[in-house]
């Protein structure tokens, strides 16, 4: 008779404080690896959420405790604070595993791939991987073995506990990691190439904990720039959505510069094909016109390492150190304030090395950098504050490309605040009141709400100049005052794909946005504003709602002094409020 030796895991409580809800993160070690648990409070039963399947581990040295405290120029919050305990383990062989436990999640790092298991999730929102991260987040999709999933991955457990898995702290010597399905909620997390990946980062808690977390930038390397005084987030007029091209036409660019001037927007983006400008004009003429109207111009480049054949120009201007330095010096000389660089080729080390070169050259020449057709930011907005935003999202420009967004936009928009936009600025290019190549069926108030619901260090407005300028004066005033970086972000309610209520603060004013992700009316009741620190009286409040359906008017705009405890959202509708004390 053979007697099996039973191994009982030892429970190690790493933190007793977790976010404003005072949650607790725990983990235990076993021969299979490490299992992480979450407790809402000391009285609740621990909930197993994730296992890192790394085999037996041996603690090396003494755990270290580190406080994280820094300022952000972009993002959901300007002052970020966290703390972590880091433990170092020896794995079988010579590999070392680093595990950090933060107040709102965990992060780990090791050589090569990791294998994880989500433990008994009730729902998942997983994005099929593409090199540009432009896809939907379908709920509970079935995965075949080997199915490749891109970060971030959102999971829901029982008792309204959620987890968001992503990656941060990547260096230019590494490659981005993605997920490969193994069945039964197990995944291999593998870098895209022979290099190692970054810190695998898992936020855990309530939906508000997920949305409000700054863990992705907390994990990332600190700011590398000595001078950031020239970096200014802001809203931009943007030509591409309405015309699908347009930047080869000086007169069209002038219309967008004039729009920015009229609405007091700080920026205008001169998009692709500016090197082929018609009628004897050049991009320098367009840049000069913008500067004369006190609008800061940004211009577009093809990275020329992703989509090249058949892609728009200008190409191959940035692909050697000499050319990159020459081009960015020219941009600075003529008054360009930022560059949008498009069409990268995925998570490979080649892309990350090149992106770092672009960010560092941009900083030398005081240029904001916006990456499009690119991998996820992975915390680099902390490391390089001139990394003002990135696409990595299925955004409004897809109305130009495919019909899918027409019927899926509302639900997709109500999913992004819980997934993609959690981890960094997202250049979705919101707010279209008219149609592009394919129609939209979200309401005017839904579209306006996206401008404050979605966070982006440069918020590009999608629609035509004449569409914005024919809106009521109150809407134009709203856009003129719209911030692109926030002091505070609070989730007041919502569920992925169904609805969202978000509050963001800049200086002494709150922007409160709500959208309906469904095709049916939604009544939101008992909205809790207590965390905003406002007395529910003697306030200046402007409310933008959808007018009653069937009439000639699109808007219902009102002023009041008390926050509404409830409001109704039309199908695919929205509401946005600006709130300040008298």
The answer to which of 126-130, 349-353, 536-540 has the lowest mean pLDDT is 536-540
CA angle (122, 495, 527) in 5-degree steps: 135
Query: Contact 538/526 with Cβ under 8 angstroms?
Result: no
Q: How high is the pLDDT of residue 246?
A: 80
Q: How far is CA 126 from the centre of its chain?
A: 15
- pLDDT over threshold 90, residue 14: no
State residue 193's pLDDT score: 97
- What pLDDT is recorded for position 94? 79
Q: What mean pLDDT is predicted for residues 395-408?
A: 96
**Any long-range contacts for 311-317 (C-beta under 8 Å, 24+ apart)?**
311/343, 312/245, 312/272, 312/273, 313/272, 313/273, 313/275, 313/276, 314/274, 314/275
Which residues, other chains included, contact 308 with Cβ-Cβ below 8 Å and sequence gap of 6+? 302, 315, 343
Of all residues in the chain, the percent with pLDDT exceeding 70 is 96
Mean pLDDT of 139-159: 97
Instruction: Please give the helix or strand (H or E) that residue 34 lies within, else none.
Output: strand 33-39
Mean pLDDT along residues 556-574: 96
Q: What is the pLDDT of residues 61-105, one digit of tens each?
A: 999 999 999 999 999 999 999 999 999 999 987 799 999 999 999
Say which range, 15-19, 136-140, 288-292, 419-423, has the weakest mean pLDDT: 15-19
404-413 vs 444-453: helix axis angle to the nearest 10? 50
Catalytic (active-site) positions? 342, 397
The pLDDT of residue 538 is 85
> Is the distance from CB of 211 to CB of 493 less than 8 angstroms?
no
pLDDT tier at 490, thresholds 50, 70, 90: very high
User: What average pLDDT does the chain have?
Assistant: 94
The 10s digit of each residue's pLDDT in 16-51 is 333 334 479 999 999 989 999 999 988 889 999 999
pLDDT tens track for 402-419 = 999 999 999 999 999 999
Confidence of residue 256 (pLDDT cuts 50, 70, 90): very high
- For the cut 80, the answer to whether the pLDDT of residue 149 exceeds it is yes
Mean pLDDT of 207-216: 98
pLDDT tens sequence across 180-203: 999 999 999 999 999 999 999 999
Return the beta strands (E) in 436-569 as ranges.
Answer: 458-461, 488-495, 499-506, 509-516, 522-524, 539-546, 555-560, 567-569
In sign, the C-alpha dihedral spanning 501, 506, 510, 515 is negative
Helix, strand, or coil here: 25?
strand
Distances (CA, A) of 401 to 121, 241, 404: 35, 10, 9
Whole-number Å distance between alpha carbons of 362 and 573: 39
Tell me which H or E stretch contains 411: helix 404-413
Residue 1 has pLDDT above 60, yes or no: no
pLDDT at residue 7 greater than cutoff 50: no
- Give the per-residue pLDDT at 244: 84
């Amino acid at each position: 008779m053979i007697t099996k030796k039973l191994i009982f895991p030892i429970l190690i409580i790493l933190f007793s404080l977790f976010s404003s809800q005072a949650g607790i993160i725990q983990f235990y070690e076993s021969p299979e690896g490490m299992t992480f648990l979450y407790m809402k409070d000391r009285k609740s039963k621990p909930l197993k959420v994730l296992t890192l399947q790394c085999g037996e581990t041996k603690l090396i040295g003494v755990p270290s405790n580190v406080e994280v405290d820094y300022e952000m120029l972009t993002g959901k919050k300007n002052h970020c604070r966290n703390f972590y305990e880091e433990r170092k383990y020896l794995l079988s062989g010579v590999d070392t595993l680093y595990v950090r436990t933060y107040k709102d999640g965990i992060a780990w790092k090791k050589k090569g791939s990791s294998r994880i298991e989500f433990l008994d999730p009730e729902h998942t929102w997983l994005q099929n991987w593409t090199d540009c991260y432009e896809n939907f987040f379908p709920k509970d999709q079935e995965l075949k073995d080997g199915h490749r999933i891109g970060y971030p991955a959102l999971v829901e457990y029982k008792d309204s506990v959620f987890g968001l898995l992503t990656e941060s702290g990547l260096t230019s010597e590494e490659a981005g990691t993605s997920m490969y399905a193994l069945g039964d909620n197990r995944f291999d997390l593998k870098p895209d190439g022979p290099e190692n990946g970054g810190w695998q980062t898992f936020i855990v808690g309530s939906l508000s904990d997920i949305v409000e977390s700054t863990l992705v930038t907390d994990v990332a390397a600190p700011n590398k720039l000595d001078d950031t005084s020239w970096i200014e987030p802001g809203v931009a007029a943007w030509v591409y959505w309405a015309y699908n091209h347009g930047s080869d036409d000086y007169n069209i660019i002038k219309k967008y510069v004039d729009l920015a001037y009229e609405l007091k927007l700080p920026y205008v983006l001169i998009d692709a094909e500016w090197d082929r400008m018609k009628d004897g004009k050049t991009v320098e003429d367009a840049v000069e016109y913008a500067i004369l109207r006190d609008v800061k111009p940004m211009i577009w480049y093809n990275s020329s390492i992703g989509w090249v054949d058949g892609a728009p120009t200008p190409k191959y201007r940035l692909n050697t150190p000499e050319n990159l330095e020459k081009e960015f010096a020219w941009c600075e000389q003529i008054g360009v304030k930022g560059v949008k660089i498009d069409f990268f080729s995925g998570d490979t080390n080649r892309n990350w090395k090149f992106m770092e070169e672009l960010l560092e050259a941009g900083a030398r020449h005081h240029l904001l950098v916006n990456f499009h057709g690119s991998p996820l930011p992975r915390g680099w907005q902390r490391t390089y504050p001139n990394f003002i935003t990135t696409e990595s999202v299925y955004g409004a420009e897809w109305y130009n490309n495919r019909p899918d967004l027409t019927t899926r936009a509302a639900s997709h928009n109500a999913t992004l605040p819980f997934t993609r936009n959690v981890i960094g600025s997202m250049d979705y290019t919101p707010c279209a009141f008219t149609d592009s190549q394919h129609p939209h069926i979200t309401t005017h108030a839904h579209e306006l709400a996206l401008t404050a619901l979605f966070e982006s260090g440069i918020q590009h407005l999608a629609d035509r100049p004449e569409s914005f300028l024919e809106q009521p004066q109150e809407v134009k005033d709203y856009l003129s005052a719209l911030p692109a970086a926030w002091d505070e972000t609070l989730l007041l309610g919502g569920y992925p794909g169904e609805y969202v209520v978000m509050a963001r603060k800049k200086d002494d004013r709150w922007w409160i946005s709500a959208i309906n992700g469904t095709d049916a009316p939604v009544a939101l009741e008992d909205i809790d504003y207590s965390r905003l620190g406002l007395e529910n009286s003697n306030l200046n409040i402007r409310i933008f709602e959808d007018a009653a359906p069937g009439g000639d008017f699109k808007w219902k705009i009102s002023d009041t002094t008390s926050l509404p405890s409830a409001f109704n959202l039309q199908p695919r509708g929205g509401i946005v409020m600006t709130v300040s004390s008298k």
